[in-house]
Amino acid sequence: MNIGNYTIDTKSPTFIIAELSANHGNDINIAKDTMKAAKEAGADAIKLQTYTADTITIDCNNDYFKINSGTIWDGRTLHDLYKEAHTPWEWHEELIKYAKELDLVCFSSPFDKTAVDFLETLSVPAYKVASFEITDIPLIEYIASKGKPVIISTGIATLGEIDDAVKACRRVGNDQIILLKCTSAYPAKIEDANLLTMQNLKETFKVEIGLSDHTLGVTAPIVSVALGAKVIEKHFILEKSIGGPDASFSLDKQEFKMLVNSVRDAEKALGNVDYELTDKKVKSREFCRSLFVVKSIKAGDVFTEDNVRSIRPGYGLKPQHIKSVIGNKARQDIAKGTPVSWDIIE
């Protein structure tokens, strides 16, 4: 599948997404500066979130709507949090245009059908389903019906709920699905990442996989590449001093650049299945072990374990031939340090 100019498949480089989220300080210029910094740090894409406080929840302060789950936002109401965190819809067109100027893919997570309809007018190339929306099957169907790649975070879902979400996409004829392993804690503990789950997602649902990461640092994303992640999403902030709901678990430019460089190095290290002997490998074989005469012997003398040994370098017969050499006679006088070859054996 393609997202913008990027191909997402088993052979493609990992698609690295910088999540803008609430890290704009309610200032569009900070948002744009953040996008530019993300590009300079090596991000392939910038992701927005498209909702208002009133499209994602209601303004109510009873206990149902107060956050009390051991998060960094405990004590606040949902409406209050989302009012602070949302990205104004009137910014979207300008931000998407600016992303194109930066050669950044820009898309968003819609949180209701009106957000999908709005994003369709802006021709976004893909959609992201956030972890907490994975149980909203009608919304997922509506998103998938637009025929664009659908990236789904699985942070709070059971296996059955993931299955429901995948089936919802396929039910409307959309098989462009990427499932992201996600731990919905902010920040998440590294020991809760359970990255091996990604491979099971790939095998179970026959989709591309990736990681939406909320751990601190870059270890989990790097490991995910070795496990087949083709998409990595990480919150990005221009400067931690900006503050905001997501600042504590977001990477700044220097940290994100470290992430990108480490992921690209991991991809290089994985390489391909390759047993070909390159010129460099052939040259290095000079230092492997082989059979050498280690004591000078006369013509007619018998080769023994005392005068023939497996040593470095590798100019003689392979050590596996030692039994075929021992007990035979020398065809000629042989000086110490001569590699053993078949033509010196009678």
- pLDDT, tens digit (0-9, with 9 covering 90-100), for 228-237: 999 999 999 9
Sign of CA dihedral 309, 311, 317, 322: positive
What integer pLDDT is reported at residue 244 of this predicted model? 86
Provide, rounded to the nearest whole percent, the portion of the chain with pLDDT above 70: 100
User: How sure is the predictor about 248, in pLDDT bands with cuts at 50, 70 and 90?
Assistant: confident
How many separate domains does the chain show? 2
What integer pLDDT is reported at residue 283 of this predicted model? 85
pLDDT digits (tens, 9 = 90+) for 96-105: 999 999 999 9
Rounded CA-CA distance 100/113 in Å is 25
Lookup: tokens for 9? 């498949």
Residue 85: closest CA among 8, 23, 3, 158:
23
We report the CATH number of the domain holding residue 194 as 3.20.20.70
* 69: three-class secondary structure by DSSP: coil
**76 phi and psi angles, rounded to 5 deg:** -95, 160
Whether the model pTM is above 0.75: yes
In terms of residue numbers, what domain contains 248? 2-51+86-270
Asked if the peptide bond before residue 187 counts as cis, ω within 30 degrees of 0, the response is yes
Whether residue 331 is contained in a domain is answered as yes
Find residue 345's DSSP bridge partners: 330
pLDDT surpasses 90 at 292: yes
Whether residue 149 is contained in a domain is answered as yes
Claim to verify: residue 332 and residue 243 sit in the same structural domain: no
Whether residue 59 is contained in a domain is answered as no
pLDDT surpasses 90 at 72: no
Mean pLDDT of 161-177: 98
pLDDT surpasses 90 at 280: no
Mean pLDDT of 18-38: 96
Rounded CA-CA distance 237/251 in Å is 6
Integer CA distances (angstroms), 53 to 11, 26, 57, 90, 111, in order:
40, 14, 6, 15, 10
Rounded CA-CA distance 258/337 in Å is 50
104-108, 203-207, 278-282, range with the lowest pLDDT: 278-282
Lookup: tokens for 219? 């270890």
